[in-house]
Structure formats: C-alpha cells, structure tokens
Chains A and B, each alone.
Chain A
Amino acid sequence: MTAQARSAGQPIVTAGGRAMTRGLGHWRRRVLIALVWLYAAFLILAPLAALVRGALAQGVGAPIAALSQPDVRGAFLLTLQTALVSVAVHAVFGTLVAWVLVRQYFRGQRWLSALIDLPFAVSAVVVGYMLLLIFGRNGLLGPWLSRLGIQIAFAWPGMLLATLFVTLPFMIRELMPLLEALGREPEQAAATLGANGWQTFWLVTFPALRWGFLYGLALTLARALGEFGAVLIIGGGIQGRTETATVFIYRALDERQYVGAYSAALLLGLVSLGLVVGIDYLRRRYEQP
C-alpha cells in the first residue's frame, strides 16, 4: 500500500518539478536573450543608426554633394591606392611568411611566430611615431635619404609603410591554421610525382588556402581602408597631398563640416563592412567543410 502510493506518487512529483523548472528556465531564457539583444542594440546598433541619421539629416542630396567635393574624392582615392598596394604586398609576403613558419623548422621559430602578433599590440600612433623616428627629419635614415632626394615621411611611401605594418598579421594568421590543417602529405605526394616547388604550391597548396586567402585579403583591405593614427602621424595630414579618407573625417569634424564628416564615415564604414561580410558569406557558401 505504502509502496504502491510511493510509486504512484513519485512520477507526479518529478513531473511537476520538471514542469516547474522548465517554466522557470523558459523565463530565464527569455530574459537572457533580451538582455543580450539590448546590449548589442545599445552598444552597436544605436550608434550605427545615429550615424546613418546624422549623414542623411539634410536629405539624400547633401551627403552626395559633400562626397563629390574634389578634396574628399582625392582623399578616398589616396586611401584606396594605399590599401590596394598594401593588400598586394601582403598577398605575396603574407603567404610566404605563413608557409615558411608552418612548413619549415628553424631555431627561434616559436619566438618569431609570437612576434607576428606585435602589430596587434602596438598603438597606431606608436607605429606612425616609429616610422618618424626612422624616416623623419632627425630620424635614423631621414637626412641620408633626403640627400638622395627620397622623401618617405610626410609622403605616400611613409603612409604605405605604416599601413603595411598595421595590417601585417591578418594574412599570416588567417593562413597558418589552414596550412597546418592541410598537412605536409599532399605536398610530399606532389613532390614524389615529380612536381617542382612552384607546381606543388600552385596546384596543391594554394587551392586549399583559396577561401582563407580571400578572407585574409578582405580583412587586410578593410583594416587598411580604416587606418588612421599611423597614417596621420607619418603623413602629417597635408590637405590635398597626404590626406586620406580617415584624416579627412578628422579634419571635417574639427572644422564642423558635420555632413561631410558623417557621410564620409558612413561610406568608409559601409565599404569595409560590405567587404568583410561579403567575403565571409561567400566563404561559408562555397567552402568545402
């Protein structure tokens, strides 16, 4: 009788208990999801929406007019030029460094690999300043180079070097895990079949890296387009000569040309964002798992 009651009663208790925790869990789940959405909306979406509103405050024509000013166009062209050359350099050397660090063994390799992350830790301002210490008027090489008629500080080559430094890790860090995952066997198999180094790389190694390579390019390009501190210091922000898109935005804010600053910021943000999101989408869609 008691045993029967117990065995009859037990399921009811556990069922009730479970139903209660499920109800509570349901609420907890809703509250946590709402909290995270609220945080993302407050931190990321509200500022983004404010920028869009700020740029379009005087109608759609105002930002277009502001962006088609010759100095603004010049600044964007300079940014694009610097970013594209940086991407081309890192496409070659980034791949090379990643390959050497993963495939070869030599003394100090671990140490070198840890050094690749240095640009993540160096402030953009410090990057510009380091280059100024080398190429500036009183710098290490500055006087000697200016005697040869080569100007690097306050000119395009310096801005390119700054952008190159800042974007150095992206390609390498994107490719190293992919190379490690690929392993040596496919390359060794190609070599035993008589392929030379170039053939092995182009026909075996590179196809496996393709999407990572493209994503690395997109990250490098996005970072290069948005670089500000390093380019400001080494370039000097000379209007019409070393003024990039970001430096223009900074100056426009200072001169209270708000529509110009907001629309340039919006355009720059949308281009970088479109680039990264687009390549990420393509990669997820076409990459073989």
Chain B
Amino acid sequence: MNAPTAPASAQGMAGRPAWWPRGGGPRLAALAYLAVMLFVPLGVILQDGLRAGLGGLWGAVSTPVAAHALRLTFWTAGVMAAINAVLGTLTAYVLVRYSFPGKGLLNAIVDLPLAIPTLVTGVMLVVLYGPQAALGAWLQDALGWRIIFAPPGIILALLFVTFPFVVRAVQPVLASLDREQDEAAETLGAGAWTIFRRITFPALLLPVTSGTLLSFARAIGEFGAIVIVAGNIPLKSQTAAVYVLGQVESENRLGASAVSIVMLSVAYALVLVVDWLQHRRTAWVRE
C-alpha cells in the first residue's frame, strides 16, 4: 500500500493502476513468460502423477518393467559419471598444464558434443558399432562384445553427450590455481603423483563433483542418443526415457507420469545441489 509512493514515482511509474507490479512491465512480462513456459507444464505433470497419491505413484514405478528401466538408467548413468570424473579431470589437466601441437583442436573437440544433436550422436554410434558395421560385427564375432542394443552402447552414448561437463567445470579452476604450493611440495621432495593427490586434487574436488553430478543429471533424461543405440527391449535395454515414450503410446498415463516425475525430481535435485555448491564456492572465494 505504501510502496507505490516513493520508489514507484522514482522509477517514473506514477499514474499506473494499483495492481501494476512494482518492477513494472518488464517484470510482469518476464514472470508471465516463465509461468506459461515452466510452471504450467510442471504443475500438470505433478498433478497427473500424484492423482492416485504417493502410493499410486510408488505402485506405478515399482512394476517390474518400470523398475528395471529406472535401475538401468541409474546404473548406466553411474558408470558414465565415474568414467567421466576420471577421464574428464585428466583431459582438463592435460589441456591446462601442458602445451603441445594440436592443443587448440583438442580443446575444440571437447565442445563438439554440445553442438551435435543427440539423435545424430546415436546414429554415429550405430554406424560405427552396429551389427552391419565392420567394427561392430568384428567385436561381436571375435570378442563376443555386444555394444549396440546393450548397456555398453548406452554408456558410450552418455559419455559422448556429457564429455564437456567435467572438463569445462575443472578447466577454469585448474587454470586459476596458484603453482607456488606445487613448487614448495616439489622442493620438499614430493613426486608428481603426491603433488596431484595432496595439493591439486583437493582444490579440484568441488568442480569435479559439480561436473560429475551435472553429467549424471543430464544422463537420466537422455533420449535421442539412446533410443537408437539401446533398442527398446523391456527388461533388457529399455531406459526410463524410452519407457515413458512406450507408455505414452500405449496410453498408460499413470505409468508415464510416475516415471517422469521420478526422473525429473532426481535430475532437478542434482541441478539444485550443483547450484548450491557453486554458490558456496563463490561465497568462500569472496571471503
């Protein structure tokens, strides 16, 4: 009530109706846009999945096919995240600490997966490892390794899609590290591995964790790269996103909504954790 007097006239908003928000037209437009784009779809799916209460949601999620799809999604994403944490950190380390011919090219390759549609990623992997491909046939016949239509294909697709996540999280932090501690440790006789383990890695713990969690969150919902690579065999190679597609097509609304809500909540919770970790880091650096 008392708000419109001082700040509103200062912002040149005198003469506007009483319901006009204090931030003016831009804020109203921005909030309306976000409400239409984000709140409404989110509200609708939450309402639909919780129609039958939490018990109903649990029932729909724990049917054998749905539970298997979720388990497969989480364990392949977990394996991907572990590989990504190690090799992503290594890639960032090499890119920051060493100079070598082709470094600019390697740095550009890291961003490639961000620019390539994920469906195209899936097509690429099928062309290389599919049963019709020379390499894929050889791996299958000579070594008995099945990659396409099996978990290894899913993990490869996820690794491709999330390749930049850990690298790009670690790179700037590693570049800003002070090298004096390394030098001090070296004069005290520490080897390179000890220096990395005791000095460099503790400083990288936060960015490595953020990048790994984000790649895991991204992997939970991945569809385009996986739908071609994984096949669609229930209880074998069907991931949660592909399961939702199947339930939508066969009009099992509760199954689709329930699994969607689980995927969405886990992924978004991870995004929020990463957001919080990064805020904490900037606050800590400012102090």
Contacts and interface: CB of A to CB of B under 8 A. Distances in A.
Interface string A15-37: 00000010011001100110111
Interface residues of A, number: 82
Contacts of B227: 229, 250
Given A51-B128, A114-B271, A262-B127, 10 more contacts: A25-B192, A28-B192, A36-B95, A43-B156, A46-B128, A93-B33, A115-B34, A122-B267, A123-B267, A226-B118
B115 interface: yes
Interface in B66-95: 87, 90-91, 93-95
Contacts, number: 240
Query: Is the contact region of chain B dominated by helix, strand, or loop, or is it mixed?
Result: helix
A8 interface: no
A36 B171 CA distance: 14
Query: Is the contact region of chain A dominated by helix, strand, or loop, or is it mixed?
Result: helix
Which size class do B's interface residues fall under? Answer: 35 or more
B37 interface: yes
Nearest to A100: B30
A39 B87 contact: yes
A233 B250 CA distance: 12
Contacts of A246: 117, 119, 224
A253 B125 CA distance: 13
A123 B34 contact: no
B31 to A, nearest CB: 8
Contacts of A130: 41-42, 44-45, 260
B224 A93 contact: no
Contact of A123 (B48, B114, B115, B260): B260
B23 A228 contact: no
A48 B270 CA distance: 31
B113 interface: yes
Contacts of A37: 102, 106
A269 B27 contact: no
B57 interface: no
Nearest to A247: B119
B284 interface: no
Contact of B123 (A33, A117, A123, A249): A249
19 contacts: A32-B94, A37-B106, A39-B87, A40-B106, A43-B159, A43-B163, A96-B29, A96-B33, A104-B26, A120-B271, A123-B260, A125-B221, A126-B45, A126-B244, A130-B42, A165-B38, A228-B117, A229-B224, A272-B117
